[in-house]
Amino acid sequence: MRLGAQWDTDCAFEANYNWKQRMIDLFSINTLTDANGEPYKQALWDDPFQADMCEIMRTLISKGILRDKENKTVKLNELHEHPDVFDNIECAKINENAGGICAVAGSSYFEKTGWTILFGGDSIGV
């Protein structure tokens, strides 16, 4: 399925645990945004043919939670004009100079049961 959809980035995965509830709790979001910038129909909370991380980022942008460096909202169809919006994503990291980790897999890349998305403090600091 991944190869057929040409999912070839390190964020192109599907998880099967309830990460949506964590998103609702943190951001008061009750529907995801599709590739066209439209909200999913209520019955479809997660499209199995869209990478979870893409659904999350699109939704955070379309809801105005993830903004550009001037704190202005960005429309999805204008992202090419505001590539800096992605600089505002902060994922769990061990120190200021380290790269962040937004999701981890405890098994094969292709196994949905192995993926965990790290939302708001869902990490261990040592």
In-domain check, residue 83: yes
- 45: containing domain: 19-117
Lowest mean per-residue pLDDT among 19-23, 42-46, 63-67, 76-80: 42-46
In-domain check, residue 13: no
In-domain check, residue 123: no
pTM: 0.76
Q: Report the distance separating Cα 15 and Cα 117, nearest Å.
A: 8
Q: Report the distance separating Cα 91 and Cα 17, nearest Å.
A: 19
The pLDDT tens digits for 2-61 are 555 555 566 778 888 888 888 888 888 888 888 888 888 866 677 887 888 888 888 999
Give the end-to-end CA distance of the chain in Å, rounded to a whole number. Answer: 37
Q: Report the distance separating Cα 48 and Cα 44, nearest Å.
A: 10
